Every structure is written in structure tokens, then in C-alpha cells.
Amino acid sequence: MKHFSNLHIQRGAALVVSLLILLVVTIVGLAGMRTSTQELRMASNAEDKETAFQQAQAAIDYLVNNPDLLPVIGNVGYALCTANQTKADGTACDQTNIDLPAPPFDDSATGTSRLRLTRQNPGTGLPPRLLATSSAMFASAYYLGESQYDATGVGRGAAGLGAGLMRIIPK
């Protein structure tokens, strides 16, 4: 008479069950890695977008902090730009004499900044009342400052920003 034990029958079942559990754990681990990789890309894109916006804002801030860049010359539509830039209608700028300082404004390893300043009125506008200036003695000139930062050539973001600027001028 032969004796059969339960151990002899179940010897291969433990191997199959452990391989199935290992397969499930591997699939869950791979899915987690894929999710974290996608989240890392999204965070990197958000950082690039914010950096591009800050670069564009820095160029506008440079304009605001340097009122000498707002000369009262030319007629309405007169444009001052950084080098190698055109007006919005595709024509060349009237002057290309705005020089942005060294990086972070123009760093060829990360991107390029462009700045355009366009005259919006003939310089005969009244100054705002809040400035407590005499309208008989002063006038105001309005400008549109447009800043563009582009780092798409190196796989980074791009941003554009516009701001209205005013300069008080003596009559």
C-alpha cells in the first residue's frame, strides 16, 4: 500500500503562487515608476513656464526702473527695441538701442529676451491727478512695453508680457 502525503501534491503550487505574487508586485512597481516619471515631467514643465514668465517680467521691470529708456521722441507708433527685432506689423523698429544687461536677460544657453517699447500718444496727455502735478506745467507720454522670452530652442518655455508705462514730462 502506497502512502501519499499532502506535501508531495502541493510542492509545485507554492512556486506558481509566489511567481504570480512577484508578477503583480512588479506590475504595480512599474506603474508607480511611470506615474512618478510623468509627474516629474509635469513639474519640470511648470518650472520652465514660471522661469520664462519671470524672465519676461524682469525685462519689463528693467524698463520701469530705467525711465531714461522712455525717451519722448518720434510720433505715435515710434518703436524702440532690442537688437534684431521688428514691430508687430513686421516692419523694422525705429531704433534698436535698448540693451538689456547680462544674464539672466539674454543667455544663449537658456534663451533670448526681446523688448519693444512703442509710443502710444504724442506726449500731450494730462498727468494723472493722483501725482499732484500741475497740468499747466507737465504732460504725460504713454508707452506700451512688450517683453518676450523664448527658450524653446533648448527645450524650455516661452512667455510674453505687456505693460503700459507712463512718463511725466515738462511742457
Res 25: pLDDT:
95
Res 69: pLDDT:
78
| 159 closest CA partner among 44, 88, 55, 42 | 55
Q: Quick check: bond before 104 cis, omega within 30? A: yes
Predicted confidence pLDDT, tens digits, the chain (171 residues): 566 556 555 567 788 889 999 999 999 999 999 999 999 999 988 988 888 888 888 888 888 888 777 877 778 888 888 876 765 556 678 888 777 776 555 454 567 888 888 888 877 777 766 666 666 777 788 888 888 888 888 878 888 999 988 887 777
DSSP for 11-46 reads: HHHHHHHHHHHHHHHHHHHHHHHHHHHHHHHHHHHH
Res 129: pLDDT:
67
For residues 163 and 58, is the Cβ–Cβ distance under 8 A?
Answer: no
25 burial type by CB count under 10 A (0-12 exposed, 13-18 middle, 19+ buried)? exposed
Looking at the DSSP bridge assignments, the partners of residue 158 are 150
pTM over 0.85: no
Res 133: pLDDT:
64
Print burial letters for 106-118: b (CB count within 10 Å at least 16), e (below 16).
beeebbbbbbbbb
Res 66: pLDDT:
82
For residues 159 and 52, is the Cβ–Cβ distance under 8 A?
Answer: yes
